[in-house]
C-alpha cells in the first residue's frame, strides 16, 4: 500500500510539473518572435514525452501487478528463499543460485509467462534491473498472447 501511495504522489507531482512546464511553453509561443516560438515548441515537447513515459510505466506496473495477483492465486509466486546479510541486503551468492535455477526453468519452458515472471524476480534480486524489466515485459507479452520480440 505504501508503494502505491508513493507512486501516486510521485505521478501527481510529475503531472503538476508537466503542466507548469507546458504553461511556460505556451507563454513563450504567445510572445510571437521566432526565437521564443521555437523555444516554446521545444519546451512543449518535454511534457508530452514525460506524460508518455509516465503512462507507459504505469501500464507496465499495472500489468506486472496483475500477473503477480494471478500467480499468487495459483500459488505460483516465488518464495523468498534468499539469504540476507546482517545489513538486510540480499546475499549475492544466494541470489545467483536462485537466478541459475530460474534461468534453467525458463530455458526449459520459454513460452510460459510464469517462468519469465519468476526470472524477472530473480533478476531483480540479483540487482539487474534492466534485465528484470525485459523479463517482466516478456512475461506480460506471453500472458497477453502478443508477439514476443527478441
Position 120 in a domain: yes
Shared domain for 96 and 52, answered yes or no, is no
Count of domains for the chain: 2
Burial degree of 80 (CB within 10 A; 0-12, 13-18, 19+): exposed
Within 10 A of 63 (CB to CB), how many other CB atoms are there? 17
Shared domain for 56 and 7, answered yes or no, is yes
Range of the domain at 32: 2-61
pLDDT over threshold 80, residue 57: yes
Position 68 in a domain: no
Q: What is the CATH number of the domain that holds 117?
A: 1.25.40.10
Asked if residue 109 lies in contact with residue 115, where contact means CB atoms within 8 angstroms, the answer is yes
What pTM did the predictor assign? 0.77
pLDDT digits (tens, 9 = 90+) for 121-146: 998 888 889 999 999 999 999 999 86
pLDDT digits (tens, 9 = 90+) for 101-114: 999 999 999 999 99
Helix/strand/coil for 62 = helix
Strand partners, 90: 84
Position 87 in a domain: no
Shared domain for 139 and 96, answered yes or no, is yes
Position 129 in a domain: yes
Residue with cell 495459483: 74
Position 86 in a domain: no
Amino acid at each position: 500500500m505504501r508503494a502505491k501511495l508513493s507512486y501516486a504522489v510521485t505521478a501527481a507531482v510529475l503531472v503538476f510539473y508537466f503542466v507548469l512546464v507546458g504553461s511556460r511553453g505556451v507563454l513563450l509561443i504567445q510572445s510571437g518572435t521566432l526565437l521564443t516560438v521555437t523555444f516554446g515548441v521545444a519546451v512543449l515537447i518535454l511534457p508530452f514525452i514525460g506524460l508518455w513515459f509516465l503512462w507507459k510505466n504505469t501500464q507496465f506496473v499495472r500489468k506486472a501487478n496483475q500477473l503477480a495477483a494471478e500467480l499468487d492465486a495459483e500459488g505460483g509466486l516465488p518464495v523468498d528463499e534468499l539469504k540476507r546479510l546482517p545489513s538486510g541486503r540480499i546475499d549475492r551468492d544466494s541470489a545467483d543460485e536462485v537466478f541459475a535455477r530460474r534461468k534453467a526453468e525458463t530455458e526449459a519452458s520459454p513460452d510460459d509467462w510464469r517462468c519469465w515472471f519468476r526470472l524477472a524476480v530473480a533478476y531483480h534480486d540479483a540487482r539487474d534491473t534492466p534485465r528484470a524489466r525485459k523479463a517482466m515485459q516478456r512475461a506480460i507479452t506471453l500472458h497477453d498472447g502478443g508477439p514476443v520480440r527478441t
